[in-house]
Amino acid sequence: MSNTPPDILYSKTHEWTRLEGEEAVVGITFFAQESLGDVTYVELPQEGDSLAAGREFGSVESVKAASELVSPVSGTVIAVNASLENAPETLNTSPYGDGWIARVKLSAAPVGLMDAAAYEAHCASEKH
């Protein structure tokens, strides 16, 4: 799998979202998991939580770092990936697949997100 799949949208804070009609799946990017290192814990939102784009909705921890999850979309959480509780390493091995974090029923169309090319440029600028 590519490190920046083309079919999804990206945020500056390194979350991704895949739009599926009125719903969206949310996770963290390859770049995010790589800079965190081995993920040891994911603090998940709860079903029913309302998310606002640009606001924190959970966090990810490794041994040496912690990072807040910032929602790329606005809406209501309709499912969370509970398997991450016991297997946080999935975020490292499959950030765009089995490592998805939450499924959201959108309350508004997402704005200000990047496509894969723009995101790659964004990551390149952050490395320097």
Partner 1 sequence: MKTIFAESVPGRSSGFFESTAPSAAQMLPAGLLRACPPCLPECSELDVVRHFTRLSHLNYSVDANFYPLGSCTMKYNPKFTEYAAGLPGFARLHPLLAQLGRGAAQAQGALRCLYETERLLCEITGMEAFTFQPMAGANGEFAGVSLMVAYHRAKGRKRSKMLIPDSAHGTNPASAALAGLEVVNIESREGMVAPEVLAASIAEYGDNIVGLMMTCPNTLGLMELHLPAIVAELRKIDALLYYDGANMNAILGKMRVGDVGFDVVHLNLHKTFATPHGGGGPGSGPVGVNGRLLPFLPVPRVAMGKDGGFFLDSNLPLSIGAIGPFYGSFSVVVKALAYMLRLGGEGLERVAEYAVLNANYLKKRLEDTLDIPFERPCAHEFVASAPEGLRALDIAKALLDRGFHAPTVYFPLIVRECLMAEPTETESKQTLDAYVDVLREIVEQGRKDPASLTAAPLSMPVRRLDETAAARRMALTEDM
Partner 2 sequence: MPFIPHTPQELEEMLAIVGVRHLDDLFADIPPEMRPRRFRLPKGRSEAAVCAFFEELAARNGTNITSFLGAGFYAHDIPKAVDALAGRSEFYTAYTPYQAECSQGTLQAIFEFQTAVCRLLDMDCANASVYDGGTALFEAAMMAVRATRRQTLAVDEAVNPIWRKMLATYIAGLPITLKIVPQKNGISDLRALSDAPDKECAAIIVQNPNFFGAVADYSEVFAAARAKGALGIISVYPVMQAVLKTPGEMGADVAVAEGQSLGQPLNFGGPYLGLMACKKEHIRQFPGRIAGRATDLNGKTGYVLTLQAREQHIRRAKATSNICSNQALCALRTLICLCLLGHGGLGRQAERGMHLARLAVKRLTSLKGVEPLNAAPYGNETALRFPVPAERLVSALIDRGFAPGYPVGRHYSDMENVLLLACTETNTPEQIDALAEAMGGLL
Binding site residues, partner 2, CB under 8 A: 40-41, 43, 61-66, 68
CA nearest to 113, candidates 53, 59, 67, 60: 53
Least distance from partner 1 to the Cβ atom of residue 38, Å: 4
89 binds, among partner 2, partner 1, none (CB under 5 to 8 A by kind): partner 1
Q: Which of 1, 21, 63, 82 binds partner 1 (CB under 8 A)?
A: 63
Q: Which two tokens stand for residue 71?
A: 């929602």
Q: Does 61 bind partner 1 (CB under 8 A)?
A: yes
Least distance from partner 2 to the Cβ atom of residue 61, Å: 4
Q: Does 85 bind partner 1 (CB under 8 A)?
A: no
11 binds, among partner 2, partner 1, none (CB under 5 to 8 A by kind): none
From CA 122, how far away is CA 124, in angstroms rounded?
A: 5
Q: Which of 38, 47, 115, 126 binds partner 1 (CB under 8 A)?
A: 38
Distances from the Cα of 127 to the Cα of 24, 86, 111, 122, 124, angstroms: 28, 31, 25, 9, 5
From CA 31, how far away is CA 24, in angstroms rounded?
A: 20
97 binds, among partner 1, partner 2, none (CB under 5 to 8 A by kind): none
Q: Output Rg (C-alpha) for the chain, integer angstroms.
A: 13
Q: In sequence order, what are the residues at sequence separation of 6 or more whose Cβ sits closer than 8 angstroms to the Cβ of residue 27?
A: 15, 16, 17, 91, 95, 96, 99, 100, 101
Chain positions contacting partner 1, by CB under 8 A: 37-38, 40-41, 61-64, 88-89
